[in-house]
Chains A and B, each alone.
Chain A
């Protein structure tokens, strides 16, 4: 009962801070905060497909592109209300995710990595070729929306927050249901899924679709923040940043997406003026994270707990 109360109080406090934040920080800092929220939201998709379902799916940023381009095209060119545009593009991304899932479900490990990379390339190639929708290689400016007449940075912040809250809570809930358990079974014991009547393929497809959906939602917002997107925006550089989110944050838990997002956005900031160093920092982060903390920072606490427990009972602790 105490815990519940504490969590509720914390939630209210955070909400209060979030609502008044725009009044206390300058526009640029607000932009960074919004970027962190958007990255974390996109990261949730990676938690679902990589962390819970164990699939090395590297097409994530391409789905963000579908969200960004799709939302803008529906909203700006076709006049569909923004929120509806966002949802429709996310739906489209989910469909593409499931389509990719069909061949991908039969693959494992690095075969899967390569296949998803190939699909990502194809999607980016589509962005380049479909220039009536996407503006081709030159890219496209994104039409900014404003919430109730608030200025753009504020409205983006609130929208991002709202989206993040919805995505995080819904995904967290999902993770605690049979769906979440089945995903983890696909990750850890796929060979036994059939014997329990669980169709590994079905859950992989659902995971691909869901992670695509989430990525596109975040992507739509990402477009708003960048104000201009081109096919290259959703290519290798961004993928590497999200791999850093995954591996520095840790992708088994939702909190990992948040920590990873903070790390990446802060690093982007710090090394912005020395762009080449930025790449090096990300590469080293990946290497060091995989080398010393494969579960990411969020695995640090459980790991320490595990080590202490093993120290206490060396004989019994068999895995």
Chain B
């Protein structure tokens, strides 16, 4: 693990080499082979990761963020090898993520929840200094947090308990928490799940602006294919543990292999999908 960088460094869009590079990644749980050799280079600002349920998408996120150890393969973050690095190290190296259901603290305020995104990434010395001082040091972090919250138009809710907010807002808070440390790589796990059109807009528009302004690379796992088409210029389709298609959304969704993968699942599951032709929204997509 050489050259692992500290988080919070903004990058310009023209970086050399892929932001994330995964090579021959394999993961098994017992006899269950979840990832069967994934090769993926992420270069675009917004990359979609789609595929039928059980394809291994969240597992891929888990490997990258250090929650799961791969049995084989490498993970490189901006060229630096982070394979097998523990979660905390990965978290401090400029990788941030969200979860399928928001992992917030209900009885802390929105502001405090977002501050946790900075808390973990500051050094112990910083934290001690912050604790002992009466004001001043803590203010800078609060301002940073508030600025992110404001970007997502949640400034009015900054002092409300996170648990009192509806799901859409909670998901946004979790994204704010992920962004406040200015990560170079953001992993979003089904951000639109359970949300209506309006909520998705509230999340996506500011996110686009942020990513553009900070040069963040965003990878999104989604079942909402309309969102993927709208947001991502690059898509990878994961099926049965490996990538079966790569390219623009239009290209992937008209790829016969991909269609078959989705239709195959819909046939079994009984969900209605478009058969023969491109895949529309919702085919094979069961929200978590």
Q: What count of chain A residues pass the 8 Å CB interface test?
A: 28
A317 in contact with B164 given A178-B127, A194-B87 (CB within 8 Å): yes
In the assembled complex, A20 has its CB within 8 A of some CB on chain B: no
In the assembled complex, B105 has its CB within 8 A of some CB on chain A: yes
Q: Is the CB of B120 within 8 A of A193?
A: yes
Q: Is the CB of B103 within 8 A of A192?
A: yes
Interface residues of B (CB under 8 A from A): 7, 65-67, 86-88, 90-92, 95-97, 99, 103-108, 112, 115-122, 127, 130-131, 138, 163-164, 166-167, 177, 181
22 A-B pairs with CB atoms under 8 Å apart are A173-B131, A177-B130, A177-B131, A178-B127, A178-B131, A182-B120, A187-B105, A189-B103, A189-B105, A193-B87, A194-B86, A194-B88, A195-B67, A195-B95, A196-B96, A196-B119, A196-B181, A197-B88, A197-B92, A197-B120, A198-B88, A319-B163
Q: Flag A176-206 by CB within 8 Å of B: 1 or 0 each.
A: 0111011011011101111111110000000
A195 in contact with B127 given A184-B105, A185-B105 (CB within 8 Å): no
Q: Which residue of A lies closest to B187 (CB)?
A: A195
> How far, in angstroms, from A255 to B116 measured CA to CA in the complex?
25
Q: Is the CB of A178 within 8 A of B122?
A: yes
Residues of A within 8 A of B88 (CB): 193-194, 197-199
> How far, in angstroms, from A182 to B130 measured CA to CA in the complex?
14
In the assembled complex, A301 has its CB within 8 A of some CB on chain B: no
Q: Is the CB of A188 within 8 A of B131?
A: no
Q: Which of A177, A199, A319 contacts B106 (CB 8 A)?
A: A319
In the assembled complex, A106 has its CB within 8 A of some CB on chain B: no
In the assembled complex, A55 has its CB within 8 A of some CB on chain B: no
Q: Is the CB of A318 within 8 A of B87?
A: no
Interface residue ranges of A143-201 to B (CB < 8 Å): 173-174, 177-179, 181-182, 184-185, 187-189, 191-199
In the assembled complex, A311 has its CB within 8 A of some CB on chain B: no
* Minimum distance in angstroms from B59 CB to a CB of chain A: 15
* Minimum distance in angstroms from B203 CB to a CB of chain A: 16
* Minimum distance in angstroms from B144 CB to a CB of chain A: 13
Q: Which of A192, A194, A198 contacts B119 (CB 8 A)?
A: A198
A191 in contact with B103 given A309-B164, A316-B166 (CB within 8 Å): yes
Q: Is the CB of B121 within 8 A of A184?
A: no
> How far, in angstroms, from A122 to B122 measured CA to CA in the complex?
38
Residues of B within 8 A of A193 (CB): 87-88, 120
Q: Which residue of A lies closest to B89 (CB)?
A: A197
Of B87, B90, B130, which is in contact with the most chain A CB atoms at under 10 Å from its CB? Answer: B87
Q: Is the CB of A174 within 8 A of B121?
A: no
Residues of B within 8 A of A173 (CB): 131
Residues of B within 8 A of A189 (CB): 103-105
> How far, in angstroms, from A193 to B87 measured CA to CA in the complex?
8
* Minimum distance in angstroms from B169 CB to a CB of chain A: 9
* Minimum distance in angstroms from A38 CB to a CB of chain B: 26
Of B65, B90, B164, which is in contact with the most chain A CB atoms at under 10 Å from its CB? Answer: B164
Residues of B within 8 A of A306 (CB): 164
Q: Which of A179, A188, A194, A199 contacts B105 (CB 8 A)?
A: A188
In the assembled complex, A252 has its CB within 8 A of some CB on chain B: yes
Residues of B within 8 A of A178 (CB): 115-116, 118-119, 122, 127, 130-131
Q: Is the CB of A197 within 8 A of B127?
A: no
> How far, in angstroms, from A187 to B7 measured CA to CA in the complex?
25
Q: Is the CB of A195 within 8 A of B97?
A: yes
Q: Is the CB of A198 within 8 A of B116?
A: yes
| Interface contacts beyond A184-B108, A189-B103, A194-B66: sample of 17 additional A-B pairs, CB < 8 Å, sorted by A | A174-B131, A179-B127, A179-B131, A181-B105, A181-B108, A182-B120, A193-B87, A194-B65, A194-B67, A194-B87, A195-B67, A195-B91, A195-B97, A197-B92, A198-B116, A199-B88, A317-B166
* Minimum distance in angstroms from A198 CB to a CB of chain B: 4
Residues of B within 8 A of A197 (CB): 7, 88, 91-92, 120-121, 181
Q: Is the CB of A252 within 8 A of B107?
A: yes
Residues of B within 8 A of A192 (CB): 99, 103
Q: Is the CB of A196 within 8 A of B121?
A: yes
* Minimum distance in angstroms from B265 CB to a CB of chain A: 28
> How far, in angstroms, from A200 to B251 measured CA to CA in the complex?
43
Residues of B within 8 A of A182 (CB): 116, 119-120
